[in-house]
């Protein structure tokens, strides 16, 4: 049994590494993009029609591509960036690129829950656009943004499991290789249980933190 345990442990760690790194990258890019969407839209603080339309379209296209297709299309690009298109390193690029537009939309959505009247009265107080973003939008939407982190992380776990089918590493890879090809039903079941636990944990933690930071 020692073999199975270490295989599952390594798979879990690999999955977590993929998810955490992709999560960080997608937020580093997704938050500014979400803010840009928010302020450039027709009712935004700095309406820029063309920019908004282009950005919005590109994001929609990326979001409508099935992950497995995106993964395949990106293989040359992934090789170029990280030198390989397989393993956990090879998965970080497509996972991040799949998550960035997702995060951008979610950030836009969270921030637009802040009431427009509140924003205009902050403008009247004299806040600049920069100050409104950092001191009003982001802090006021923080609980909602944190829930979004949970949703993104869970989506990434799903994608990363799917990536296992293409030699991506992590729990998905183990489920396919041992569980499916080698008829190890036990390993298949264990990976599924671990995935369920991960999802529950992420959901629980982010909900908790979101509640703790919310003063409404």
Partner 1 sequence: MIRFNQVSKQYRNDDGVFYALHDVTFQVEEGEIFGIIGMSGAGKTTILKIITGLEVPDSGSVMIGKYHLSTLCSKQWMEYRKSIGVIHQGYHLLMQRTVFQNIAFPLEINHVSKEETQRRVMELLEIVGLVEKAHQYPATLSGGQKQRVAIARALATNPKVLLCDEPTSALDLVTSKGIVSLLQLIRDRFGVSIVLISHELGIIRSLASQVMILDQGKICEVGKTSDVFSNPISLVGKHLLGRG
Q: Which is nearer to partner 1, 108 or 140 (CB)?
A: 140
Which among 3-11, 33-41, 112-120, 165-173 is the span making contact with partner 1, rule CB under 8 A?
112-120
Give SS3 for 48: coil
How many residues in total does the chain contain?
Answer: 216
Residue 188 near residue 180 (C-beta atoms within 8 A): yes
d(CA 185, CA 5): 15
Judged by beta carbon, residue 62 or residue 142, the one nearer partner 1 is 142
Q: How far is the CB of 42 from partner 1 (least distance, A)?
A: 16
Q: Is 84 one of the binding residues for partner 1 (CB under 8 A)? A: no
Q: Helix/strand/coil (H, E, C) string of 169-216?
A: CHHHHHHHHHHHHCCCHHHHHHHHHHHHHHHHHHHHHHHHHHHHHCCC
Enter the DSSP assignment of 37.
H
Interface with partner 1: number of residues (CB under 8 A): 23
Is 10 one of the binding residues for partner 1 (CB under 8 A)? no
Task: Pick the closer one to partner 1 by CB: 25 or 35.
Answer: 35
Report the residue from 2, 50, 76, 216 that binds partner 1 according to the rule CB under 8 A. Answer: 216
Alpha helices, DSSP H, located in the chain: 2-40, 49-64, 67-73, 75-82, 87-111, 116-125, 129-131, 138-140, 142-163, 170-174, 185-213
Give, as ranges, the residues between 58 and 77 that touch partner 1 (CB under 8 A): none
Q: How far is the CB of 145 from partner 1 (least distance, A)?
A: 11
Spatial distance between the Cα atoms of 54 and 41, rounded to a whole number of angstroms: 11
63 or 123: whose CB is closer to partner 1?
123
Site for partner 1 in 116-155 (CB under 8 A): 117-118, 120-128, 131, 135-136, 139-140, 142-143
Closer to partner 1 at the Cβ: 51 or 127? 127
Name the site residues for partner 1 (rule: CB under 8 A): 115, 117-118, 120-128, 131, 135-136, 139-140, 142-143, 213-216
């Amino acid at each position: 049994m020692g073999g199975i345990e270490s295989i599952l442990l390594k798979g879990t760690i690999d999955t977590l590494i993929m998810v955490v790194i992709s999560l960080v990258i997608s937020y580093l890019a997704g938050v500014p993009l979400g803010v840009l969407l928010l302020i450039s839209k027709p009712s935004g603080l700095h309406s820029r029609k063309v920019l908004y339309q282009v950005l919005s379209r590109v994001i929609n296209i990326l979001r409508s591509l099935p992950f497995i297709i995106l993964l395949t299309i990106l293989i040359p690009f992934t090789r170029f960036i990280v030198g390989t298109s397989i393993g956990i390193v090879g998965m970080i690029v497509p996972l991040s690129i799949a998550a960035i537009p997702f995060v951008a939309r979610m950030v836009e959505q969270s921030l637009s829950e802040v009431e427009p009247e509140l924003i205009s009265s902050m403008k009247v107080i004299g806040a600049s656009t920069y100050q409104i973003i950092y001191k009003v939008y982001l802090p006021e939407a923080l609980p909602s943004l944190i829930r979004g982190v949970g949703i993104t992380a869970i989506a990434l776990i799903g994608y990363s499991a799917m990536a296992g089918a293409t030699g991506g590493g992590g729990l998905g890879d183990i489920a396919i290789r041992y569980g499916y090809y080698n008829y190890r039903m036990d390993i298949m079941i264990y990976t599924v249980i671990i995935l369920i636990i991960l999802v529950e944990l992420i959901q629980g933690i982010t909900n908790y933190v979101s509640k703790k930071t919310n003063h409404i």
